[in-house]
Amino acid sequence: MAKRQANGDDRARQVLAQEAARIIVEQGIQDYRVAKFKAAERLGMSERGSLPGNTEIEKAVSEHLLLFGRESHVDLLRVLRRAALSAMEMLAPFAPRLVGPVLHGTASANSAVNLHVFADSAELVAVRLEESSVQYRPFDRRLKSRRDRAETFAAFRFTHGESAIEATVFPVDGVRQAPISPVDGKPMRRADVNVILRLLEN
C-alpha cells in the first residue's frame, strides 16, 4: 500500500513538474516557485503536498522544449547564444560571463540573455553602453551570495540585435565566487566567450 502511495506521489510530482514547465515556456515565467504554485492551482492539487523541486522542473523544461520544438529550439538557442557572444564582445572590458537558461539550454522565446559583468562601478558599464549607442534601462537584481544572505546588484536591461540582454554588475573580485543558483542551490555556472564559441560550434 505504501509503495502504491509513493508511486502515486511520484506521478503527481511529475505531472505537476510538466505543467510548471509548460507555464514557464509559454508564459515566460522565470520564477520556478511561482510556476509551481500556478501549476498546482491549475491542476487542483494541494500546495501542501510533495511539490517537485526546482531541478525536477528544470529537467521538465528541457524535456518540454525537446518534445515540442526540437529543431526550432536548437535554432533559438543558436540565435540567443550568438546575441550573448556579441554582447559579451561589446562588454569585453568587464570580463563578461553567460549564466542561466541560454547557457543551460533551457531558454524559451521569452528568455533574456543573462550576463554577469565585473567592474569597479556600475557607472563604468553604463558609459560603455552609451559609447556603443545602446539604449538601456537600469534596474536592481537581488541574488543570494550565500545560502543565508542575499545582496542587491545594479543591472542593465537592453536589446542587442533582436535579443533582450540583462547584465548584472558585480565587483571585480566577484568573478571568483558566483551567486547561488535559485534552481539547485549551488554556485551559478558561468561561461566565458570561449565556452560560448564551443557551444556554437557543436
Strand partners, 116: 97, 168
Rounded distance, CA 40 to CA 108, Å? Answer: 22
Q: Would you state the cell numbers that stand for residue 24, as one nine-digit string? A: 514557464
- Residue 143 has a pLDDT of 92
Rounded distance, CA 173 to CA 166, Å? Answer: 20
Instruction: State pTM to two decimals.
Output: 0.76
Residue 148: pLDDT over 80 = no
Fold that domain 71-201 belongs to in CATH: Beta Polymerase; domain 2 (3.30.460)
Residue 1: pLDDT over 80 = no
Rounded distance, CA 141 to CA 174, Å? Answer: 15
- Residue 47 has a pLDDT of 57
Got the DSSP string for 145-164? Answer: EETTEEEEEEEEEEEETTEE
Rounded distance, CA 71 to CA 59, Å? Answer: 18
> 114-134: per-residue pLDDT in tens?
999 999 999 999 999 999 999
Please check whether residue 90 is in contact with residue 160, taking contact to mean a CB–CB distance below 8 angstroms: yes
> 86-111: per-residue pLDDT in tens?
999 999 999 999 999 899 888 888 88
Domain boundaries, the chain: 2-52, 71-201
Rounded distance, CA 172 to CA 188, Å? Answer: 17
- Residue 64 has a pLDDT of 78
Quick one: which of 75, 74, 81, 122 has its CA closest to 99? 81
How far, rounded to the nearest angstrom, does the alpha carbon of residue 44 sit from its chain's CA centroid?
28
